[in-house]
């Protein structure tokens, strides 16, 4: 298993080209199932393992992929053309779905277009149980007949899906996306209330509109979709990855460096920028890019994760890494996922002072971290260890690098280009 070796202490200086958002690209790829036409997506972080998994799942249904990129863009992204002209199989197998939860997003589109689908339940994952009840209840309201058998959701809509008013009891990004896609091919109007507001939802709405669906209100808590009898192919550029950008922003800040985050607008980063500024980090938006200046020791700030536009759970671990070396104590509260503090014991191995009680962590800033061998069990936890290692004294070896391969394209290259002492060790 590959590892990363990092020697801390180098301030990051330079420019980081931010890629397209993995979390936007996954539902956009699933949306290709809604049409026999070709959906061309540019700015796709195509080499990420999660994107490859979605590609494998769609290929198993019969979707054809063409990479229409010449050389990949500077940010590593590519342009993919997806054609679901001939669907040969409406079952998504456990072997593929268990690798990534977002795989369940194929259920609604398959059901809406073909009237049936059989999709494995995703099972648990490292950051909690993560059920899909909201997805399923919504599809049922739209006329889907569902049965759970042998770990699979067997879904049928012999007369097609119809519009419905669905009020989510709690906010879910995936369920909002899932029902938007299903509604785009349902008969009549669907109203989603208490919908998620994330930028990735707006990105999906843009693609669905380009495919011929009417979608109003994406980015607000009430989304109205008029279903079309048929959708057509379209071309769309994937929105920038705000979590990748936020991760580099924290890396720049913790090392006291100066970084330009290329290709991401400051509005996408929202609450992360607010927290960084409260920590004393200087942040400026200039000509479509974001500049970060680390400004000595960060000040302690409190953080509570919540749905967009509040502080994203996917940035909690990275921000905690910054707070480990802050001046003062910071209270970090995780409200989205249970069990999302797996980075805490590993950060402690590097000298961090953190106490966890339930969904709250109290981080008492220390003046320095020390390099150590560490490992983590999910993507964002792993990258928080990389961030800590960039400022730690001595050498850190981050094990289980495959988690990082799920969500960070060219991490080592992008960090080394800004002066980090980091290398990937094989085996």
What's the Rg (C-alpha) of the chain? Answer: 21
Least distance (Å) between residue 380 CB and ligand UD1:
8
Residue with tokens 């400026």, as numbered in its chain: 284
| Count of Cβ atoms closer than 10 Å to residue 370 Cβ | 16
Q: How far is the CB of 71 from ligand UD1 (least distance, A)?
A: 27
Residue closer to ligand UD1, measured from CB, 260 or 378: 378
Contact 50, 101 (CB under 8 A): no
- Intra-chain end-to-end CA distance of the chain, in Å: 5
Tokens of 173: 């990004």
Nearer to ligand UD1, 152 or 337 (CB): 337
Q: Which residues, including other chains, have CB under 8 Å from residue 337's CB and lie 6 or more apart?
A: 127, 128, 130, 313
Question: Considering the complex, what minimum distance in angstroms separates the CB of residue 80 from ligand UD1?
Answer: 17
Quote the CA–CA distance of 30 and 336 in Å, as a whole number. 24
Name the residues that contact ligand UD1, by CB under 6 A: 23, 26, 101-102, 128, 130-135, 170, 172-175, 200, 312-314, 336-337
SS3 label, residue 55: helix
Q: Whole-angstrom Cα distance, residue 184 to residue 187?
A: 9
Nearest distance in Å: CB 22, ligand UD1? 7
Number of residues that make up the chain: 427
List for the chain the helix, strand, coil content (%; round to 5). Answer: 35, 30, 35
- Residue pair 372/7 in contact (Cβ under 8 Å)? The answer is no
Residue number, 170 or 235, with CB nearest to ligand UD1: 170
Of 121 and 363, the one with the shorter C-beta distance to ligand UD1 is 121
> Measured from the CB atom, is 17 or 122 closer to ligand UD1?
122
Give 132 or 322: the residue with its C-beta nearer to ligand UD1: 132
> DSSP secondary-structure letter at 188?
S
Q: What is the rounded distance in angstroms from the CA atom of residue 260 to the CA atom of residue 74? A: 14
CB of 344 to ligand UD1, least distance (A): 18
* Least distance CB 336 / ligand UD1 (angstroms): 5
Q: Which of 125, 156, 366, 397 is catalytic?
A: 125
- Give the bridge partners for 42, in sequence order: 237
Tokens of 71: 């050389």
Residue 83 or 172: the one with the smaller Cβ distance to ligand UD1 is: 172
Query: 395: which 2 tokens?
Result: 């050498």
Shortest-Cβ-distance residue relative to ligand UD1: 174
Neighbours of 55 (CB within 10 A): 17
Closest to 6 measured CA to CA, from 420, 426, 427: 420
Report the residue number, 309 or 419, with the smaller CB distance to ligand UD1: 309
Residue 134 Cβ vs ligand UD1, minimum distance, rounded to whole Å:
3
**Any catalytic annotation for residue 77?**
no
| Nearest distance, CB of residue 10 and ligand UD1, angstroms | 29
Give yes or no for a contact between 102 and 21, defined as CB atoms under 8 angstroms apart: no
User: How would you list the strands of the sheet with 329-333, edge to edge?
Assistant: 303-304, 329-333, 360-364, 353-357
404 by DSSP, 3-state: which? helix
Catalytic residue set: 125
């Amino acid at each position: 298993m590959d590892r990363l070796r990092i020697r801390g202490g180098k301030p990051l200086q330079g420019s980081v080209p931010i890629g397209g958002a993995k979390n936007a690209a996954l539902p956009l790829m699933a949306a290709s199932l809604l049409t026999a036409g070709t959906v061309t997506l540019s700015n796709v972080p195509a080499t990420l393992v999660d994107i490859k998994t979605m590609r494998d799942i769609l290929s198993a249904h019969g979707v054809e992929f063409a990479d229409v990129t010449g050389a990949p863009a500077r940010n590593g992204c590519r342009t993919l053309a997806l054609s679901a002209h001939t669907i040969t199989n409406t079952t998504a197998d456990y072997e593929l779905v268990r690798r990534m939860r977002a795989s369940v997003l194929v259920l609604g589109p398959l059901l809406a277009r073909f009237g049936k689908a059989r999709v494995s339940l995703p099972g648990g994952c490292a950051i909690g149980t993560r059920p899909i009840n909201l997805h399923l209840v919504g599809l049922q309201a739209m006329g889907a007949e569902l049965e759970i058998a042998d770990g699979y959701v067997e879904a049928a809509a012999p007369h097609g899906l119809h519009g419905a008013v669905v009020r989510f009891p709690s906010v879910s990004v995936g369920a909002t996306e899932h029902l938007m896609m299903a509604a785009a091919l349902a008969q009549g109007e669907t109203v989603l209330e208490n919908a998620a507001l994330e930028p990735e939802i707006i990105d999906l709405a843009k693609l669905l509109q380009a495919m011929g669906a009417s979608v109003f209100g994406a980015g607000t808590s009430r989304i109205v979709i008029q279903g079309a009898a048929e959708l057509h192919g379209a071309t769309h550029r994937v929105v920038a990855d705000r979590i990748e950008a936020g991760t580099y922003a924290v890396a720049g800040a913790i090392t006291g460096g100066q970084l330009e985050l290329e290709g991401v607008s400051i509005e996408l980063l929202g609450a992360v920028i607010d927290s960084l500024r409260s920590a004393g980090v200087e942040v400026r938006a200039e000509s479509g890019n974001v500049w970060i200046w680390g400004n000595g020791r960060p000040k302690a700030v409190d953080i509570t994760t919540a749905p967009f536009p509040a502080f994203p759970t996917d940035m909690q671990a990275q921000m905690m890494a910054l707070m480990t070396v802050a001046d003062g104590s910071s209270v970090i509260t995780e409200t989205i996922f249970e069990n999302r503090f797996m980075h805490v014991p590993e950060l402690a191995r590097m000298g961090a002072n953190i106490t966890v009680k339930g969904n709250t962590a109290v981080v008492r800033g220390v003046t320095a971290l020390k390099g150590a061998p560490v490992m983590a069990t999910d993507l964002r936890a792993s990258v928080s260890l990389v961030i800590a290692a960039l400022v730690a004294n001595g050498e850190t070896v981050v094990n289980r690098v495959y988690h990082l391969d799920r969500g960070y394209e060219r991490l080592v290259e992008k960090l080394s280009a800004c002066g980090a002492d980091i290398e990937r060790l094989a085996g």
